[in-house]
Structure 1
Amino acid sequence: MRRSLLASLAALLVTFAAQGRAHAIGVLLPTRPEIEPLAIRHHRVSISVRERIAETRVEQVFLNQSGETLEATYVFPLPPGATVSGFTMWVDGRPQRGELLESAQARAVYEQIVARMRDPGLVEQIGGNLFRARVFPIAPNSEQRIELRFTQTLEYHGGVVHYRYPLRTAGRAARTLEDLTITAEIVSRTPVRAVYSPTHALAIAREGDQRALASYEGHRVALDQDFDLYYAVADGDVGLSLLSHRAGGDDGYFLAMIAPRTALTEHELASKEVIFVFDTSGSMTGDKIARARAALDHMLARLGPNDRFQVVRFSTDVELLFDRGASMPATPANVASARRFASRFVAAGGTAIHGALDEALRTRAPTTATPRMIVFLTDGMPTVGETDPATIVREVTARTTATTGASTRLFVFGVGDDVNTTFLDALAVGSGGTSDYVRGEDGAELQQRLSTLYDRIAYPVLADLHLSLPGASAFDVYPRDLGHLYRGDQLLVVGRYRGEGAVQVVLEGRVGGATPLRLEFPVTMPSAETRNDFLPRVWATRKVATLLDEIRLNGERPELREEVVRLARQFGLVTPYTSYLVAEDVEIPRGIAPVPDARPLRPMDEPAPVSEAQADFERFADATAARAPQTTSSGGGGGGGGGAASMAPEGGRGESGRRLSARLRDLRGAEQAAALAAQDARFVLGRAFVRRDGMWVDSRYRAGRRELRMRWGSEGYFALLRARPELGPALALGDRVTIAIDAARVIVIDPSAPERISETDVSAFLE
């Protein structure tokens, strides 16, 4: 039986090597089979890419927690085409050497690893060459440091370079005890534009147009997904590159990555009009008012020579720096006047939000082509003048969306526990702006966060952008309003398409604040594309977040709720409606014994963002505006609350309101495919697999179809993989999996299946 298993594994290795599906992890395997792979204290990866040639430096520190002296083997399967350029390891003060195993030898080693670890996930990690080193002795309760360097040429397609460092690891090594750190330096003669990872949230810094730095750091990180990095290179003032994914016969998905060049003069930046609206009501006493003044001073210092501005102070009354309805050039004299004006701010009185926003909206530059931004800070609800939040939202939204020429956008900043995030978010979303919140006890945090918000929007390069794909029949594009593109920033747009072939992506907007801009980028929309399979889930996450925001701000409607539930089930997402319900609605094949407490063979820990999202959604219903009668609905497709009968739900206040607002804001612009992934769901083969009673069940499974049952690791199992290698990601889920092959046939992997299913049986079933 063992010989048969190893023979099947060898055939499987050939299949995956031919497909170039190699994955690279570094594990330290004790020679004693009863001891699991050693735990990883930290895992640090440094990547240097120059003209598509990547050198990767890996530093891993393993921990022997056994209390015994161990002998172990370090194995690192290399990416396709990679060459080892350095290896460093010391044992008892002596440097150790490693050896490179060609694919034939590597397969034999991997046979032993797979058979020993009984890890279905390893079927995705097979192929290519293998680096191996013997490690002895490893003292009890000691560390073992290993450093490895390898080089490779990266894949390039359609102006986009792709780098992958696979991290998926099994056993004790499936989570770092301390940090996972990844840094990437990208240098290119052709300017580097967008830099993006669908798997890990990156911090990105740019040093001119030819160099970019990307970094990720996490503590006790689950090593359950590979690290993917994409970067675009392009000449011209603006770069636009497109990634696509399309399963046969379905509408496709696309991601447009847009980034301007970094080196811009002051005169190339868009001029803007900024109206600062500051709350000085009695609740802004103490450190808060001082920090607000300091933040305003910071923002005034970042006004450009072509900008205009106005300052509006409000409490019970409303006071303007300049004449009513006028903004003034940001000259040194006018900025100095603004600083003197702010120095007199005193916290006292009520909160005239409606009156303050009315004055801000009356203010207009001499030319309507100048983009207008209203930076609005408040720490309370309206108490003076018009106090109904729904009325204020309806009026402000109507006035910001009805303007001719350039847009008016509200950037809202809420302070403390008394603000209602449902109300303030509706103001921001209705104008195409953004919102952010702080608790308020820490004045330094208020100053820092407000300054950071303004720094991000201070230097618009392109204003009021619009993206279209004539001929591709694009639809469901997110974000719906692209807004402005700022210096040093990038814009990621996801959507779906029905057409195919050569088309033009058209990007329109305003440059320099006034001059119309139209750029065309030739792309090809494929009829089938298996790469970039993260795109469907990124798109679904953004759409669900947009729908949830519409429900929260405008009230629930049956069709919106039903669409959220449908998408959550299709893509395996956490939502307020489906977080605990997904598995209950999934059938499992008859005759399968439930195993409620069973865990996957390899740990699949719930990512931290998932549990956080679960908690943030708990008060979603409390934070949702009441649904107004249809006659009062604004009818907007994502707008700002014109249909809400009440914008003051209690769930919109306090820490829970701030967390929910931040969660939905982040998800509307989600970049990572796992941002909203449900704990007991995995998205593979373009669809969700839901874990119920210990079995991973294809969301497309329906009872009554023709079934073929087999055991993991059987002759039939590997015959299936040879015949249908594309099923590997689903089979890697575990030893209990149900897969819908098509509308008529189902494969069931289960320990209770017949022991002997032959290759002939599999071939006959698949014919």
Structure 2
Amino acid sequence: MRTSTQYQRILRWALLFLMALPLSFYTQAQKKPGKTLSPYFLVKSKNSKVDQMPLKETSVDVNIAGVMADVTVTQVYKNEGKNTLEAIYVFPGSTQAAVYAMTMTIGERKLIAKIEEKNKARQQYETAKKQGKTASLLEQHRPNVFQMNVANILPKDVIKVELHYTELLVPTDGVYEFSYPTVVGPRYSDTPAAKATANEKWVKNPYLNEGNKPNYTFDINTVINAGMPIQQMACTSHKVNVKYANKSTGRIALKKSEKYGGNRDYIIRYRLAGSKIQSGLLLYEGENEAATGDNSDEASEKFFLMMMQPPKAPKNTQIPPREYVFIVDVSGSMHGFPLSVSKRLLKNLIGKLRPTDKFNVMLFESSNQMMSPESMDATPANIAKAINVIDRQRGGGGTRLLPALQKALAFKETKDYSRSFVVVTDGYITVEKEAYELIRNNLNKANLFAFGIGSSVNRFLIEGMARAGMGEPFIVTHGTEADVKAEKFRQYIQNPVLTNIQVKYNGFEVYDVANTSIPDVFSERPIIVYGKYRGAPKGKITITGLSGNKKYTKTIKVSNATQDNNQAIRYLWARERIKLEDDYRRYYGAERQKHIKEITRLGLKYNLLTQYTSFIAISPEVRNKEGKIVTVNQPLPLPKGVSKNAIGNTSSVNYSRTMSIAPSSGKRYKRRRPYRKTYAPRKKAKELSISTRGSGGVSKADMDEVEEVKDELKKMQEKSVRLYPRQKKHMIRHVVQAGESLESIAKFYRITANSIKSNNLLKNGQVTAGQKLTLEVNKVIFKVRAGDTLHKVAQYFKVTVRQLKAWNGLRRNNLIIGQKLTIY
């Protein structure tokens, strides 16, 4: 039996462990660098007395043509110090962004960057920096993180940075969205700043104190030339003025009251009018050929982009019958949890097929087997049979996806049915290059959707397969997500309005078409085809397919295509090819160097920033003859509504340049009230520690017991965190019921009526029964534990018992252990 002295020692050590926790949190935060989500200048310095280099203004011009956004960003900075500086300009972008130009103006001199191989550009920059020349270097660290270095900036220099990028806008639920990131949010990394690689140094930067507005002005102007009638435009983030030049062109400008609105992302949304399948064609002819008549390969390149926008709400007569082939991984790596989640997912997917649908199931590991020689009708008996087959799987054998895909593609087609392949796997697959190309080259036979299953999914593979198949990736990391993701998949795929699509070019000579095989058109996704053409823009493009049970034909006259200001097509085409090569580089290590060379070639030819090409600009004269250069950190505004507790190890500063460290908040323990008794031993340990100081050393046995106490305390802490999970943002669908109003719906979900109007682009507050709304809500699924009551749960989440009962359809106050409650 342990003596009281031993307990005192154990509790004393437990006390030291507990008291060290807040310090350890702080120490870990000190090692974690900060996140950047928008452009800023990071200016290195060892001299704390060097003046700051504040951003004076940001102006953005956005030109949206069809599905393309061409963006010009201009930011003005001023060196207000007395020292020559080196600055680092860091900015984000979406993974779709193609950065194709950059200029830096210092005083009267404008430096135009040229594209170079990355290592070569870095060497040129370092040489110019040592020589005292003003130089600028723009690099890509990640697909959505770019960095600009500027060396030898003299005191009082005014710097104007101008960069150009373009990106593709793809609508969701018929709504197009453009977002310009302005907010710098905190990021955390497990790598200490001192040990971070050169590519990751950009994440560390100080922040202004919480609540301080940015001291620079922000302005953004957007022109939308949709090429089709616009139903409505709106800005969900800022106050704006909206004007329509005509049915298909609109302008959005910030109001003067938003002059300092650069502390949150700028987001606009617009919807096209009409309920028919609409098509359009955009052309771009290279300036060199137009101006000089040059017939060289580079000068004669011409690009086209054809887009087909499906109807917003297709009629039942437009929905063709569907066929699903589920390709399910039952290999050894799927044994246990992943396969259990797969079973639940497939029960949801197969169990809710329409009676008019057909389906089949292929199970694969070292070998593969199809459930039926032909796809079966989705009858209750066939569905039950399929679920029974899936339930019997235990997982075993190797993983061979290529033979499974080949067999599935060779599977007899069901005439007049829209076919989709659904691959369910954990992603631990050796995918040969032939398999990847097999998916891309057979899009006219079927769409491919990829479900990644498990707590550590190979996301690169799942997303790459979906991208190759022109489908959508879905990641399911735990069982509770299976129902949600299955429903999301059904909503996405339930309305294919055009199948068996073929594109023919008559009298219009095309080549290097980015996507030769066309997937089915869904109500939530348009068709986009882009490539190159030769000769005069003449002839016609014919699109054929099946809409419901009727043949569909659409002809576009090339001579009627829009040719104004479509240069972005050139960069988007090249960006798509670079993405494809980058996928090959990631997945096929044996040919890695081949794909790196091709990415480099494309980046150099089309003047694009890539992982292996950079922009470099060097002034000819020596401006810093002494060669001395110092640096400072440019403080950033915290995102609107973000607490300083999110900063971690980064500095928090005010405009008087008072520097302070923002440690991790000690308030993290306040949410652990259900386990109040964990504080009792902590309090008792403190008292005993005072009374037993100097009582002697601690034996190894005592230390082992202390470790046991520490383990128990950790488990209790983890348990207390899991007891009441935090609410998270979710997008849900709500079907309006008879008698409901916008206000009653908003009250039910505890959101605002304005947010409903904004997310659904409603012109007024009127809703009708049967109307489908997209809602952004705070939601959590809470699992009832022993001792929980409706009153306790309601009190913790600050809701009423009546609300809990309404959200979950409860008639009585009784709860069952393990019961799941939805809380908004």
Tell me the TM-score normalised to structure 2 length. Answer: 0.40
Which structure has more relative contact order (CA 8 Å, sep 6+)? It is 2
Q: If you compute each CA radius of gyration, which structure gives the higher value, 1 or 2? A: 2
Tell me the TM-score normalised to structure 1 length. Answer: 0.43
